[in-house]
Structure 1
Amino acid sequence: MSAAHEQVPVNAPANLTAVLLVVAVTVGIGGYGLRSRSTPDFYVASRTVSPLRNAAAVSGEYLSAASYLGIAGLLATYGSTMLWYGVGYTAGYLVLLVLVAAPLRRSGAYTVSDFAEARLGSMAVRRTATVFVVLIGLLYQVPQLVGAGLALHTVLGAPAWSGTVLVTAVVLVSVITGGMRSVTLVQSVQYWLKLTALAVPALALLLVWRGVWHPGGGPAPAPVPVAHTASGHGGGQGLYSVYSLMVATFLGTMGLPHVTARFYTNPDGRAARRTTVGVLGLLGVFYLLPEVYGALGRRYAPGLAAAGRADTEVLLLPGHLVPGATGQLLTALVVAGAFAAFLSTCSGLALSVAAVLSQDLFGGDVRGFRRAAAPAVVVPCAIALLLPGSGMSVAHEVGLVFSVAASTFCPLLVLGIWWRRLTAAGAVAGMVVGGGLSAAAPTLALLGVGGCGRAGALLAEPAAWSVPAAFLTMVGVSLLTPGRVPAAASVMLARLHLPEALAAGPADRSAADGDRSSSAPVRSSRDGRR
């Protein structure tokens, strides 16, 4: 592919206008959060979010840079094998619906750490959960911020750090002013913006591909032969990588702190289930679109993938296939959706990290939440600015975060909700083993350990063995410590599984009044131990 084709001209004023409009809408809607005053407003939007709005908000924060840019880039680079990313990201909510959604809402918790302590009555479990919430939140935000820098550099020619700093500043303002209440509304609007921003250009690209529309009056661009072949995704090792990816995405969704936090905002367990069903539908529609960009990018602009710029396929393809003002308008629309993706996902992650830091370090009230929001946003920004890029796709980097989530919080939630004999020692051991293995293995792979053979594949995609290791460790240590099963385990399990009308306890009734403190479930468990 020629250099002229790779360097698609961009209409910087239109693209800048699109970015600024998204920023203005985000900050403007975030002003709604000025109505937030109480602690429940900031942590769980006072548990009054309707299933439809919550489904759009969950989808809005879940559809990150990996979904918006990364999947299309991987498809353009490696082909149909990468379709499993979209399938896995969606199917994870089916597992969450069946196993976790309603019981997690009935727990009355504000955060995963709250749930862990209330279920097992242990500060050690709480602290371990908090460490992994912060780790996952930080690791997940970094690719979003890197993607923002990449997008702004691609469509404006601005330095990469400018996109990172811009997203950080907007997220910080949104989170501090209104917490969960305002961010919920922002994310629900941003889902529809992202869907529109990908769907309209995708339809135009399909019309050009099929020869139905001839923009500019000339013939459609001719397909470019694919002259490169990506390595490392074939044979038995490629099959293992696919299976490991499926494990990570199917089970990692329930372990993402910003996803589980959403289910605390529903009025009850039934609403949590309805929210999850809505998310499945909304994600299913969205994930039809990156495939269009990936397939057409592989056909018409393979040079981007060959040059290591596959993550820019979505941003550049409309301008490549549709010349003139129409192509510039479509590019600006895609750019607007990309920034909505960066902002919504970073907002959700910052909320989840700020919530646990506030409760464990800053007192758990509104002032503490605001104080915790600063490091929750600024630290990943600093990491994104200081560390050089790994060379991996944004979607691949996010997939590794899913591996950590699947290896830590998935066993904790599944066993904590469905197995009475889980103990604090087992939970801590399982999270440490699973989290340590899933974080250390890809690091070793990046350092070149294992090479390109079977050992390298096992290290690069650890979920297939790190998740079973975490489950086995959690179960084994729990069975070795039967005397440490919490005395109130049966009561807590009844609360998780019985309808609210039968299992409602003091924490639920005070939550309904809208004035309980942020750590009420935790205090209740501590009171029980005393």
Structure 2
Amino acid sequence: MSQPLSLVAVVLVCLTTLAVGGLGLRLSRRTSDFYVAGRTVSPRLNASAIGGEYLSAASFLGVAGLVYGSGVDMLWLPIGYTLGYLVLLVMVAAPMRRSGAYTLPDFAEARLGSRAIRLVSSVLVVAIGWLYLVPQFQGAGLTLTLVTGAPQWVGGLVVMVVIAAAVGAGGMRSITFVQAVQYWVKLTALAVPAFVLLFLWFRAGHPAPVVPPEWHSPLRTGAPDDHTLYRTASTVLALSLGTMGLPHVLVRYYTNPDGVGARRTTVTVIALLGTFYLLPPVYAALGRVVYPTLPDGVRQDSIVLRIPGELAGGLGADLLTAMLAGGAFAAFLSTASGLAMSVTGVIDQEVLRPRLARLTGGDAPAVRGFRFAAVAAVVLPYLLSRAIEPLGLATTVGLAFAVAAATFAPLIILGVWWRRLSTTGALAGVLTGGTATVAALGTTMLRGDLGGWVGALLANPALWAVPLAAGTAVAVSLLTPGRVPATTTRTMVRLHTPERIALARSRVRD
């Protein structure tokens, strides 16, 4: 289907992103402006920005599609997404802000005093960021093709160009404003059509939408040997701990003024996410009424965009579809901007800035390398998105969560709370978790779900890979006490001392 109104909505979202992002061009001057927005972002603005970048294509389109296809089992996905911020609130939000780091590799090196762990963390940030970016580009292509008939490559290209411009213009200051605006755009774009469609449905005299009984039977949608309970538990663990390990999520906590602000941000984020996730099940239920069985060639991810054309007609259907298309593009742009920001920071710090410093004798402007890095951060995953077959938005995003949960989550939790963590132990834990997860998921991607316990363990590795990584880090650390950094006590005091107490101590010393 080709709808001019949908194209107009997509163009408006892109222009709004560029216009709001342009504000950062005038406000960003220092390195801290580009990396952490000068550490002056208020909790409410930061919470909206986090909601904007976290609610990706997997949330806007993928969750409804999965609930449509598999029933209420898939409601564990939004629960896991939201639970991740509760874990962040309780365990690491304030300490990570007090670390004073710009990026996750900065924190790893500051805590463990090792260039090796910094290098491994940098590689992981880029890998997770690109793994998460690929479905954003693919989803953008799917959406634009569905609502306008444009070729598949166009949607991803548009997202790539807009994000490179927004991130390069003003770094974190730019995308903070962009993501905060786009959260409310996404919420409105999903909520208004949902209420209108329900109103039209009931006004026409239809009874409440009826779905198959098995659709709402918790944990009973799989085959008897599918081990659904294990798969669900592993998925929830991957989502709740993976949130902590996503580089584009953690970097937002560095933008708060202090640890108290970081905690307030997290509480607000939980409320914003909870509000948003009330809506995808509505589309899933309506999709079951419209499509009792999925037609050939129709992807689950496209259900949300197809429903208005089936339940409404004429200009009204076109307007509702245009709103959903604009909201979907806002999801692609906001999440991609956060991912591009985290990858850009690592590429700039670890690759481009040292090279430019050597070539120019240290006189190269800091902004130049950052903007080159912004381009590199989006071009390569876009090319990758064109080279591989789409796996489904929520599925691909789940891979990124699983890798993050088995690598960064143990590193951060132990780094923040366990003073006996050694450099060797941390490195062993990260490598073990990363290798195990990538091997398991890679086998599933290449050979498909093998079924039985083998298939369940390989397709959903978080429930065993996370304890394996954490156990390896603890065991190796206990065997290498000499590799515990000498600065550990001082670093731990900094992470856990409230800002008011630290300020009072500095005044006493002065």
TM-score range, shorter chain: over 0.9
**1:358–1:153 Cα change, 3 Å:** same
Amino acid at match of 2:393: V
The aligned residue for residue 87 of structure 1 is 79
Do 1:57 and 1:187's aligned partners in 2 also have CA atoms closer than 8 Å? Answer: yes
Q: Which residue of 2 aligns with 1:206?
A: 198
Matched, 1:422 2:400: no
Residue 438 (str. 1) matches residue 430 (str. 2): no
Deviation by residue 1:312-358 (Cα, 9 ceiling, x = unmatched): 01111122111121111111001110000000000000000110111
Q: 1:363: Cα distance to partner? A: 2.0
Q: What's 1:296 paired with?
A: 286
Q: Give the alignment partner of residue 163 of structure 1, picking from 152, 155, 158.
A: 155
3-state SS, counterpart of residue 22 of structure 2: helix
Q: Decide whether the 8 Å contact of 1:221 with 1:300 is kept in 2.
A: no
Q: 1:139 aligns with which of 121, 125, 131?
A: 131
Report the Cα offset of residue 175 of structure 1: 0.7
Task: Please say if residues 40 and 255 of structure 2, whose CA atoms lie closer than 8 Å, have aligned partners that are also in contact.
Answer: yes
Structure 1 unaligned regions, length at least 5: 1-9, 510-530
Is 1:19–2:20 an aligned residue pair?
no
Contact 1:168 1:377 in 2 (8 A): yes
Q: Which of these residues, 222, 234, 240, is aligned with residue 233 of structure 1?
A: 222
Distance 1:135 1:22 in 2: 28
Aligned to 1:52: 44
- Which residue number corresponds to residue 487 of structure 2? 488
How far apart, CA to CA, are the structure 2 residues paired with 1:293 and 1:113? 40
Q: How many angstroms apart in 2 are the aligned matches of 1:128 and 1:305?
A: 45
Please tell me the residue identity of whatever aligns with 1:273.
Answer: R
Alignment of 1:146-157 (within 5 A): 146-157=138-149
Give me the whole-angstrom Cα distance separating, in 2, the residues matched to 1:505 and 1:104: 21
Q: Indicate if the aligned counterparts of 1:76 and 1:302 stay in contact, CA closer than 8 A.
A: no
CA distance in 1, matches of 2:501, 2:211: 64
Q: Which of the residues 18, 21, 25 maps onto 1:30?
A: 21
Counterpart CA distance in 2 for 1:315 and 1:221 is 23
Indicate the SS of the match to 1:267. Answer: coil
Note the 1:56-455 alignment, pairs <5 A: 56-209=48-201, 211=202, 213-214=203-204, 233-235=222-224, 237-304=227-294, 307-363=297-353, 365-390=366-391, 393-448=392-447, 451-455=450-454
CA distance in 2, matches of 1:298, 1:341: 24
In structure 2, relative to structure 1, the CA distance for the partners of 1:473 and 1:331 (3 Å cut) is same
Q: Deviations over 1:54-99 (max 9, x none)?
A: 0000000000000000000001100010000010000100000000
Distance 1:105 1:267 in 2: 8
Within 5 A, what are the aligned runs for 1:469-484?
Answer: 469-484=468-483
Contact 1:221 1:321 in 2 (8 A): no
Q: In structure 2, how many angstroms separate the alpha carbons of the residues matched to 1:19 and 1:437?
A: 40
Provide the secondary structure at the position in 1 that maps to 2:125. helix
AA at the equivalent of 2:285: A
Q: Aligned equivalents of 1:504 and 1:461: distance in 2?
A: 46
Distance 2:439 2:502 in 1: 41
TM-score (norm 2): 0.92
CA distance in 2, matches of 1:94, 1:78: 26
Name the structure 1 match of 2:363: none
Contact 1:304 1:312 in 2 (8 A): no
Mark the runs of 5 or more structure 2 residues left unpaired by the alignment. Answer: 355-365
CA contact (8 A) 2:214 2:220 kept: no
Q: 1:293 to 1:305 in 2, by over 3 A?
A: farther
Aligned mates of 2:279, 2:61 — CA distance in 1: 11
Q: 1-side partners of 2:381 and 2:270: how far apart? A: 29
The CA deviation at 1:220 is 5.4
User: In 1, Cα distance between the equivalents of 2:64 and 2:267?
Assistant: 25
Shift of 1:233: 2.9
In the aligned structure 1, how far is the partner of 2:251 from the partner of 2:31? 15
> Cα–Cα, structure 1 residues 396 and 305, in superposed 2: closer, same or farther, change >3 Å?
farther
Q: Which one is further off, 431-440 or 340-349?
A: 431-440
- Aligned-pair CA distance for 1:33: 1.2
Q: Distance in 2 between matches of 1:72 and 1:130?
A: 33
Distance (whole Å) between structure 1 residues aligned to residue 305 and residue 138 of structure 2: 15
2:361 aligned residue: none
Residue number in structure 2 paired with 1:519: none
Deviations 1:108-136 (A, max 9, x none): 00000000000000001100100100010
Structure 1 counterpart of 2:427, which letter? V
Q: CA distance change for structure 1 residues 311 and 449 in 2, over 3 Å: closer, same or farther?
A: closer
- Cα offsets for 1:356-379 (capped at 9, x unmatched): 111111227322211211111111
Other-structure match for 1:512: none
How far did 1:505 drift? 12
| Structure 1 range deviating more: 230-239 or 190-199 | 230-239
Q: Structure 2: which amino acid aligns with 1:427?
A: A
Report the RMSD for the aligned CA atoms in angstroms: 2.3
State how far apart, in whole Å, the 1-side matches of 2:209 and 2:417 are.
53
C-alpha distance in 1 between matches for 2:274 and 2:209:
29
TM-score (norm 1): 0.89
Q: Which amino acid aligns with 1:31?
A: G
Say if 2:211 and 2:285, in contact at 8 Å, map to a contact too.
no
Asked whether the equivalents of residues 220 and 228 of structure 2 are also in contact (C-alpha less than 8 Å), the reply is no
Q: Is the 8 A contact 2:3 2:318 kept in 1?
A: no
Q: Shift of residue 204 of structure 1?
A: 1.4
Q: Is the 8 A contact 1:241 1:457 kept in 2?
A: yes
CA distance 1:222–1:52, change in 2 (3 Å): closer
Question: C-alpha distance in 1, partners of 2:407/2:151?
Answer: 36
* 1:283-339 per-position Cα deviation (integer Å, ceiling 9, x unaligned): 000000011111211222234376551100111112211112111111100111000
Q: Which has the larger displacement, 188-197 or 221-230?
A: 221-230
State the SS of the aligned residue for 1:363.
Answer: helix
SS of equivalent to 2:126: helix
1:423/1:221 CA distance change after superposition, 3 Å:
same
